[in-house]
Amino acid sequence: MKIAVFVSGGGTNLQAIIDNTKDGILQDVEIVLVLSSSKEAYALERAADNKIPSVVVSRKDFDSIEKWDDAVVEAVEKSGAELVVLAGYLSLLGPKIVSRYSNRIINIHPALIPSFCGAGMYGIRPHKAALAKGVKVSGATVHFVNENYDEGPILLQKAVDVLPDDTPESLQQRIMKECEWKILPQAIRLIADGRVIIENNICYVR
Ligand code: GAR
């Protein structure tokens, strides 16, 4: 299966996918495109280091959402990707890419949806909010993407205990290592194997 990975920052989730294509559970998966919302993203270096084609398509370089959305669609179509993976991608996708790739876009979110998600809940913020609420578990969610933040059908979730001396940073690191870097490749595996069915907005793994 050919995939496109969308990034905005450090790209540790991209790295987890790359590592799995080399000697893990995704050896039959090819990353045909890394699309970044920012030219500063370190994820672009990870793509270059691994000879993966990359492109920067930044909302601020276009004078309308429509033109930006068209450019995103064009880049993905040209790449031949069958699945789009949002791996730390922080822009809300435009309506055209969402409808064109309906049920073929997944996102990793660093909390147990429906907690600590939605507009403004990205990066370190869900972890700050989780500690401020005093939750005793948190984790990560892989879900399909619709036109709203963090709202589509949930495919996989994994939890960790919140420890008494956790800081937002320590919780973030533990969730990345123990949850995100595992369930994102696992979700791609399930989709590549045709094991995921969506009915009435609910995901089933068969
Ligand atoms: C990850 O924790 C990812 O779950 C989160 O941004 C981080 C990106 O890290 N995504 C969101 O908050 C999306 N709402 P990475 O660039 O090292 O993969």
- Residue 170 sits at the vertex; the CA angle it makes with 140 and 42, to the nearest 5 degrees, is 75
Residues with CB under 6 A from ligand 1: 7, 9-13, 43, 87-88, 108-110, 122-123, 176, 180
Mean of per-residue pLDDT scores for the chain: 97
Average pLDDT of the residues in 178-183 = 98
One of 109, 127, 143, 174 is an active-site residue; which one?
109
CA of 112 to the centre of ligand 1 (A): 14
CA of 91 to the centre of ligand 1 (A): 12
Q: What is the pTM of this model?
A: 0.98
pLDDT tens-digit series, residues 128-140: 999 999 999 999 9
* Ligand 1 nearest atom to the CA of residue 150, by list position: 14
pLDDT tens-digit series, residues 64-112: 999 999 999 999 999 999 999 999 999 999 999 999 999 999 999 999 9
Sign of CA dihedral 156, 153, 33, 77: positive
Q: Which pLDDT value is given to residue 28?
A: 98
Structure tokens that stand for 14 in this block: 């991209």
Check if the beta carbon of residue 88 is closer than 8 Å to that of residue 8.
yes
pLDDT tens-digit series, residues 185-194: 999 999 999 9
Please say if 143 is a catalytic residue.
no
Q: Which pLDDT value is given to residue 149?
A: 87
pLDDT at 50 > cutoff 90? yes
Q: Which pLDDT value is given to residue 147?
A: 86
Average pLDDT of the residues in 5-22 = 98
> Which structural domains are found in the chain, ordered by start?
2-109+140-159+179-205 (3.40.50.170)
CA of 75 to the centre of ligand 1 (A): 22
Helix (H, G, I), strand (E, B) or coil at 154: strand
Report the C-alpha gap between 162 and 139 in whole angstroms.
Answer: 9
pLDDT at 196 > cutoff 90? yes
Average pLDDT of the residues in 39-44 = 98
Average pLDDT of the residues in 149-153 = 92
Report the C-alpha gap between 106 and 83 in whole angstroms.
Answer: 8
CA of 65 to the centre of ligand 1 (A): 23
Report the C-alpha gap between 171 and 195 in whole angstroms.
Answer: 31
Residue keyed to tokens 């930044």: 58
* Ligand 1 nearest atom to the CA of residue 14, by list position: 18
